[in-house]
Structure 1
Amino acid sequence: MKVAVNYSPKAEGLIKNKSIEVDIFKCPDFSKELIQQAKKTKPCYIHFALNAGSGQMNNVDWEVINELRNSTQTPFVNVHAVAFAKDYPEIDVLTDNPYYIGMMVDAVVRDIEIVADKFGAENVIVENVICRGKGENMMKGIIKPDSITEIVYKTGCGLLLDTAHAQMTSMSLGLNVKDYISQLPVSKLKELHITGIQKDDKGRLRDSMPMTEEDWNLAIWAIQKIKGGYWNEPWIVAFEYGGVGPKCEWRTDEDVLSKQVPLL
C-alpha cells in the first residue's frame, strides 16, 4: 500500500524539508496549475468530484477526466454514491422502504455504468458518503451496506472506503461503526481514506480534521483487517487532512501534519 496526503503548500513544505514522507499527493480535480505545482515535489493522483446517482454524468467533460488521469498516477476514476434529499422530495430521508431504496440504487448504477463504458468497470471505484439523518441532504437508503454492496456487484466496480464518512454516519444514525463497515463489500476494497472528525460550534460533525484517539483506534482496526487478509489490500491509504481552497486551508496545520503523517 502507498501512503498519500492531501496536497497543500504546507504539506509540500514539510516534505521538502524532510519533516514528513509520503509516496504520493492526493489532489482535487479543479486546478491543473495546482496539480503541476504538486508534481514538482511528489507524484500525484486525482480525486474526482463525480456523484453517481445525481444524474450529472451526461454533463461531464470526459476528455478532461481522461487527460487528468493519464497525466498523473491515477489508477481509478472515483465516484460518490449519492441520493440527495432534494431529488426525492416526497420520500422520508430515513426511509427503509425497499422500493424507494431500489430507486436510489438504480440511479447510482445507471450513472456508474456511464463511467464504466468510458474507462472500464475495473477502473471505477465507488465511495461511501455521509448520512446525518433528518433535516440533512443525504438519503439513508444509499449508505446502507446492502445498497453499496448491490451497487458494487451490479456494476463490477471497486470500493473506496472512507472511514470518517462511515464514522459520522454511524454516530448520526446510532450505529456501531465497526459493524457498519464490516457489512460493506470490503473484499472489493481498492482505496482507503482516513482522517479525523470533530464537532463544529453547532455540534455538527465534520471531517478532514486532526485525528483523535478514537479516530486512530478505528484506523488501526481497519489496517489490521487489511494486514490480516480479512479485507482486500487497497492500492493506497490517503490521509485526508488539510488541502487547498477556502474549505480546507483554515484546517491545514503544519504541526498536525508533522505529527500525524508519520504516525499513519
Structure 2
Amino acid sequence: MKLAVNYSLETEKLVKDSVIDIDMFKCPDFSKELIDNAKQTKPCYVHFALNAGDNQMNKVNWTAIEALREETNTPFVNVHAVAFVKDYPDMDTFTSNPVHINRIIDAVIKDLAPVMDKFGAENVMMENVICRGENENMMRAIIEPEILSEIMQETGCGLLLDTAHAQMTSKCLGLDVKQYISQLPLDQLKELHITGIQPDNKGRLHDSMPMTDEDWDLAKWVIQRIKAGYWQEPWVAAFEYGGVGPIFEWRTDEEVLAKQTPILYELVK
C-alpha cells in the first residue's frame, strides 16, 4: 500500500527539503500544468471529478481522462456515487420506498455504464459521499452500505473508502462510524482516503482538515483492519490534506503537513 498526499506547493516543498517522505502525489484532474509540476518531484496519480447518478456523463471529456490516466499510470478511474436531492423532488430525503430506491440505483448504474465500457469494471471504483440529513443536498439511500453493495455486486466495480466522508455522515445521521464502515463492501476496497474533520464557527463539519485524536483513532482502526487481512488492501492510502486553489489554500498549513504526514506514513508502512 502506497502513501499519497494531496499535491500542494507546501507538500512539494517539504518533499524536496526531505522533511517528509511519501510515495506519490494525488492530483486533481483540472490542471495538466499542475500534474506536470508534480511529476518533477514525485510520481502522481489523478483523482477524477466524476459523478455517477446525476446524469451528466454525456458532458465528460473522455479523451482528456484517457490521456491523463495514461500519462500518470493512474490504475483506477474513480466516480462519486451520488443522489442529489434536487434530482428527486418527489422523494423524501430518507425514503425507504423500494420504487424510489431502485430509481436511485438505476441512475447510478446507468452513469457507470459508459465508464465501465471505456475502462473495464475492474478498473472503476465508487467513492462514498457525505449525507448530512434532511434539508441538505444528498439522499440518504446513496450512502447506505447495502445499496452501495448492490451496485458494486451488479456492476463489478470497486470501493474507494473515504473515512472522513464516512465520519461526517455518521456524525450527522447519528451512526457509529466503525459499524457503518464495517458494513461497506470492503472485500472490494481499491483505494483509501484519510483526513481530519472539524466544525466551522457555525458547527458545520468540513473535511480536508488537520487530524484530531478522533480522526487518528479511526485511521489507525481502518489500517489495522486492512493489515490484519479482514479487508482487501487498497493500492494507495491518500492523505487528503492540503491542495491548490481557493477551496484548499485556506486549509493548507505546512506545519500540519510536516507533523502529520510522517505519522500516517508510519501507520501505512
Q: Into which bin does the TM-score normalised by the smaller protein fall?
A: over 0.9
Q: Secondary structure at the match of 1:258?
A: helix
Q: How far apart are the structure 2 equivalents of 1:118 and 1:126?
A: 16
% same residue:
68
Q: Secondary structure at the match of 2:247?
A: coil
Q: How far apart are the structure 1 equivalents of 2:158 and 2:186?
A: 9
Q: How far apart are the structure 2 equivalents of 1:36 and 1:98?
A: 47
Deviation of 1:96 (Å)? 1.9
Q: Which residue of 2 aligns with 1:97?
A: 97
Instruction: List structure 1 runs of 4+ shifted beyond 3 angstroms.
Output: none
Deviation of 1:73 (Å)? 2.7
> 1:57-206 alignment to 2 at 5 Å?
57-206=57-206
> 1:253-264 alignment to 2 at 5 Å?
253-264=253-264
Q: Secondary structure at the match of 2:257?
A: helix
C-alpha contact 1:3 1:238 (8 A) present in aligned 2: yes
C-alpha contact 1:242 1:248 (8 A) present in aligned 2: yes
Kindly provide the CA deviation profile for residues 190-213 of structure 1, in whole angstroms up to 9, marking residues without a partner as x.
000000000011111110000000
Q: Please report the TM-score for the alignment, with normalisation by the length of structure 2.
A: 0.97
Deviation of 1:98 (Å)? 2.1
C-alpha contact 1:197 1:211 (8 A) present in aligned 2: yes
C-alpha contact 1:105 1:151 (8 A) present in aligned 2: yes
Provide structure 2 residue ranges, at least 5 long, that are not aligned to the other structure: 265-269
Name the amino acid aligned to 2:36. Answer: Q
> 1:9-20 alignment to 2 at 5 Å?
9-20=9-20
Q: How far apart are the structure 2 equivalents of 1:38 and 1:251?
A: 20
Once the two structures are overlaid, the 10-residue window that deviates more, 96-105 or 3-12, is 96-105
C-alpha contact 1:54 1:107 (8 A) present in aligned 2: yes
Deviation of 1:90 (Å)? 1.6
Q: How far apart are the structure 1 equivalents of 2:177 and 2:98?
A: 23
Aligned length: 264
Q: How far apart are the structure 1 equivalents of 2:169 and 2:115?
A: 26
Q: Secondary structure at the match of 1:244?
A: coil
Q: How far apart are the structure 1 equivalents of 2:73 and 2:17?
A: 24
Provide structure 1 residue ranges, at least 5 long, that are not aligned to the other structure: none
Q: How far apart are the structure 2 equivalents of 1:19 and 1:8?
A: 15
Superposed CA RMSD in Å reads 0.6
Q: How far apart are the structure 2 equivalents of 1:162 and 1:26?
A: 14
C-alpha contact 1:50 1:79 (8 A) present in aligned 2: yes
Q: Which residue of 2 aligns with 1:29?
A: 29
Q: How far apart are the structure 1 equivalents of 2:44 and 2:144?
A: 32
Q: Which residue of 1 aligns with 2:267?
A: none
> 1:47-58 alignment to 2 at 5 Å?
47-58=47-58
Deviation of 1:101 (Å)? 1.4
Report whether the alignment pairs 1:220 with 2:220. Answer: yes
Q: Secondary structure at the match of 2:154?
A: helix
Q: How far apart are the structure 1 equivalents of 2:176 and 2:200?
A: 22
Q: How far apart are the structure 2 equivalents of 1:97 and 1:216?
A: 37
Name the amino acid aligned to 2:232. Answer: N
Q: Please report the TM-score for the alignment, with normalisation by the length of structure 1.
A: 0.99
Name the amino acid aligned to 2:114. Answer: I
C-alpha contact 1:52 1:112 (8 A) present in aligned 2: yes
